Amino acid sequence: MTDAADQLPDDLASAHAMILAERAARREAEAVAARAQAVNSHSDALIARLRLEIEKLKRDIHGSRSERKARLLEQMELQLEELEADASQDELAAELAARSSTVRAFERKRPSRKPFPEHLPRERVVIAPPTSCPCCGSAKLAKLGEDIAETLEVIPRQWKVIQTVREKFSCRECEKIAQPPAPFHVTPRGFAGPNLLAMILFEKFGQHQPLNRQSERYAREGVDLSLSTLADQVGACAAVLKPLHGLIEAHVLTAERLHGDDTTVPILAKGKTDTGRIWTYVRDDRPFSGTSPPAALYYASRDRRQEHPERHLKTFTGILQADAYGGYNPLFKMDRDSGPLTQALCWSHSRRKFFVLADIATNAKRGKNATPISPVALEAVKRIDALFDIERDINRLAASERLARRQRDSRRLVEELEAWMRAERTKLSRSSPVAEPIDYMLKRWEGFTSFLGDGRICLTNNAAERALRGFALGRKSWLFAGSDRGADRAAFMATMIMTAKLNDVDPQAWLADVLARIADTPTTKLAELLPWNWTGPRPMMALAS
């Protein structure tokens, strides 16, 4: 074999040429590698995006069949976020590498971008045209048209101080002094405008940003608003908005049907935190083509005793869609003062218990540690899904039409499901995992089958579960409520914000307008400020289900 040193040129010019050739070859190789990396990153991002779209379509088509769909979609969106960033970074690296080589640059095929909203203001920047022809030098140029490239830009938040001047006048006849009244502020001798107050409230209770973090961010922007100052404004706003909250509460509790649920919220105690509760009751008749506006009502408590739902629903008469929590049981008794409520249990909740034992996809990921798939649980899921298929077909129909369809199609499936579960239960031991979800349903069969006799009843309690999703996310940001009153205030503001969202109203814009007008609005006209009667701007898109 010939030694590499023997192949080196003897003269300096040839050595320089060899070095330059090797450098060019290295740049070519680097460009090829960068392009290949960009192609791979683009492919990974494209696959992740398509998988996410497929899962979203499955959710839309199959509805509650896609168990764990919310968490799965969140994980997939986070993964897509990272892959898209990697693909863009690798694309730019490949472009830079291709500039000094003969390798063709790689350009990603991105999904078509939606046009910018028409309501955004446009700032026209015209690049100075040439004064003469770059080819022949002639100054006789005629405009043929123009190309416009739109770039989305943001203006940093601006703070300003509004000076409200109240001039004084003296009467020449009686020497009395006249002056216009002082402008309304939420707090006595207040300083914060309604837009600032709305932003503070929505950041804290809608975006889960505690006041200390808001104070730090405002300080970085050159405005010193202490934690105690912000807290003072929050308490005052809650007091001012109380009459409006009362109207929402009355609207919710006069519904024919309510969705009820609760979730844990840590509440600060002496040297520890107690596991408190946030309760929600949702009025939403839209799935039944109802005309009543939707609304959500929240309450807070330090424990989960049954006295709380009894107090919350003391005046309510109608249908309660909820899980099988025993604290609701007194509401269904005949000796209840205002009459017993109609119990309607959640089929999604019961299906979830079977699905855990029949989740093939999750078991496949566990490998050797996977538990055997229960054929009984798998069959139960299939039978329950058949009921959901019927419900999807009759969604948006009137209650009478839904009832007729259930009597015709669903009743037979329910009777067959009960007979099948009772037969299977006799074959199972007490320790069998699938025996628990079967017993859970059979012991409460009347509550599960109440939908067969009333077309107003939903098959699930998903409306209440969706309404509590914000608290599940918020717990990770603010960790705990500082007191019982703090938890009550969080429930109070959640009622306002979620009700606005359910009516496709921007909560922050609505709160700003309400805080500006509520002092001058007579009590008899307060209903005009409710989210479903509000006539302000509505930039918010309708919520996804």
* Whether the Cβ atoms of residue 464 and residue 321 lie closer than 8 Å to each other: yes
Indicate if the pLDDT at residue 6 is higher than 70.
Answer: no
| pLDDT per residue as tens digits for the range 496-527 | 999 999 999 999 999 999 998 888 888 899 99
- Helix (H/G/I), strand (E/B), else coil: 24: helix
Does residue 257 register a pLDDT over 50?
A: yes
| Range in 130-134, 359-363, 444-448, 509-513 with the lowest mean pLDDT | 359-363
Looking at residue 404, its pLDDT comes to 92
**pTM for this model (two decimals):** 0.74
Helix axes 242-253, 227-240, angle to 10 degrees: 50
Stretch among 103-112, 354-363, 430-439 having the lowest mean pLDDT = 103-112
Residues 25-40: tens digit of each pLDDT: 888 887 778 777 777 7
Domain map (residue ranges) of the chain: 16-99
Least confident of 1-10, 69-78, 360-369, 441-450: 360-369
What is the Cα–Cα distance from 341 to 257, expressed in whole angstroms?
A: 10
Q: Whole-angstrom Cα distance, residue 287 to residue 293?
A: 12
Which residues, 6+ apart, have CB-to-CB distance to 492 below 8 Å? 238, 241, 242, 245, 298
pLDDT, mean of residues 346-364: 76
- The 3-state DSSP class for residue 147 equals coil
If you average pLDDT over each of 61-75, 300-314, 526-540, which comes out highest? 300-314
Q: Which residue has the higher pLDDT, 349 or 62?
A: 349
Distance CA 381, CA 363 (A): 16
Q: What is the pLDDT of residue 544?
A: 36
DSSP three-state, residue 8: coil
Query: Any idea which of 36-40, 299-303, 349-353 has the lowest mean pLDDT?
Result: 36-40
Is the predicted pLDDT of residue 436 greater than 80, yes or no?
yes
State residue 130's pLDDT score: 83
pLDDT score at 482: 60
Residue 405 has pLDDT above 80, yes or no: yes
Kindly state the average pLDDT of the residues 290-310.
90
Q: What is the pLDDT of residues 164-182, one digit of tens each?
A: 888 888 888 888 888 888 7
* Average pLDDT value for residue range 272-287: 85
Cα–Cα distances in angstroms (integers) from residue 545 to residues 26, 56, 191, 502, in the given order: 54, 12, 39, 10
pLDDT attached to residue 134: 84
pLDDT recorded at residue 26: 82
CA–CA distance, 391 with 364 (Å, rounded to integer): 31
Which residues are registered as beta bridge partners of 267? 274, 481
Query: Does pLDDT of 111 surpass 70?
Result: no
- Mean pLDDT across the stretch 437-460? 90
Identify the CA nearest to 260 among candidates 343, 360, 162.
Answer: 343
Print the SS3 string covering 148-204: CCCCCCCCCCCCCCCCCCCCCEECCCCCCEECCCCCCCCCCCCCCCHHHHHHHHHHH
- HEC per residue, 419-479: HHHHHHHCCCCCCCCCHHHHHHHHCCHHHHCHHHCCCCCCCCCHHHHHHCHHHHHHHHHHC
pLDDT at 69 over 60: no
> Quick one: which H or E segment has residue 342?
strand 342-345
Mean pLDDT of 390-407: 88
More confident of the two residues 363 and 264: 264
Distance between CA atoms of 471 and 469, rounded to whole angstroms? Answer: 5
Q: What is the mean pLDDT of residues 409-436?
A: 89
Residue 456 has pLDDT above 60, yes or no: yes
Pairing mode, strands 169-170 and 177-178: antiparallel
Q: Which of 60-69, 103-112, 326-335 is the least confident region? A: 60-69
For 468-479, what is each residue's pLDDT tens digit?
887 766 666 555
